[in-house]
Amino acid sequence: MGNSAAEKTAGIIIIGNEILSGKVQDSNSFFLASELRALGVNVLRITVIPDDIEVIGREAVLFSKSFDHVFTSGGVGPTHDDLTMKGLADGFGVAMMLHPSLEARFRRRYGDRLNEAILKMALVPEGTEVIDFGDNSFPLIFFRNIYVFPGIPRFLREKFLLVRERFRTVCFFLARIFVNAEESEIAALLNRTVAAYPEISFGSYPIMDNPEYRIIITAEARDKERLDAAVARLLTLLPEQIIVRVE
């Protein structure tokens, strides 16, 4: 779980055979990771798993124990391969139930057209909470510390943006140094700075086919003063002529 009250961790589970088979490209994990990072949540693991009840349950239990927040994407709906709810129920050893507010919503919406496929979407693990947005969109399912999102990117984004502020914590500060050099030329200097500032998260990313710069060095931390000090130290070590700009 999180290391302190200020630091929260998260894991993301992407569910769907269509992702693993290459039929659909996953964009949900990128969106969630980017949003959560901006909110100060430390995403520690992303996994892609098949539409398999046992696998879903096993992974959900592991993530739930390991991270403060868990986000699943996919496997919710009326068809045969929508197995997320059953996977969660089996994994945590609870029964499935018709959630009364979801059932009532579907009965109001569909009336005489209500069928088993539609009611299937009201079946959730016992202990599930429903986050109702008070409009015509489907509520968000919340089970223990697991937020169950649809796999369709548009719907996932819409729902996440409605609840994003509940995840906000102490944010990360980020600095970027654009360098016109090879990684081998700066490795020793960067390593010295990393050793001097172990609490700062550094990254070095080669950029291809850019005439202006060849590397982006990133430095990230929750303490802005320490971040600024680490960046200043690195800038004194790097040859001035290779520094393109700092952001």
CA 240 centroid distance within chain: 37
Which pLDDT band holds residue 38 (cuts at 50, 70, 90)? very high
Distance CA 147, CA 141 (A): 6
Distance CA 121, CA 64 (A): 22
H or E stretch covering 194: helix 183-196
CA torsion 122→64→24→137, rounded to 10°? 40
Is pLDDT of 134 > 80? no
pLDDT of residue 80: 81
Distance CA 141, CA 128 (A): 7
pLDDT of residue 74: 95
> What's the whole-number mean pLDDT along residues 37-57?
97
Return left, alpha or beta for 245; rule: phi > 0 is left, psi -120 to 50 is alpha, else beta.
beta
- Of 35 and 108, the structure prediction assigns the larger pLDDT to 35
Say which amino acid occupies 244. V
pLDDT digits (tens, 9 = 90+) for 202-235: 999 999 999 999 999 999 999 999 999 999 999 9
H or E stretch covering 104: helix 100-110
Distance CA 15, CA 170 (A): 29
Q: Residue 144: beta bridge partners?
A: none
50 contacts 75 by C-beta, under 8 angstroms: no
Is pLDDT of 5 > 60? no
73 contacts 14 by C-beta, under 8 angstroms: yes
Is pLDDT of 1 > 50? no
Which pLDDT band holds residue 136 (cuts at 50, 70, 90)? low
Residue 81 has φ and ψ, to the nearest 5°, of: -95, 10
Greatest Cα pair distance in the chain: 74
pLDDT of residue 155: 94
Query: Domains of the chain by range and CATH?
Result: 8-167 (3.40.980.10), 173-246 (3.30.70.2860)
Is pLDDT of 18 > 90? yes
Is pLDDT of 3 > 60? no
> What's the whole-number mean pLDDT along residues 48-69?
98
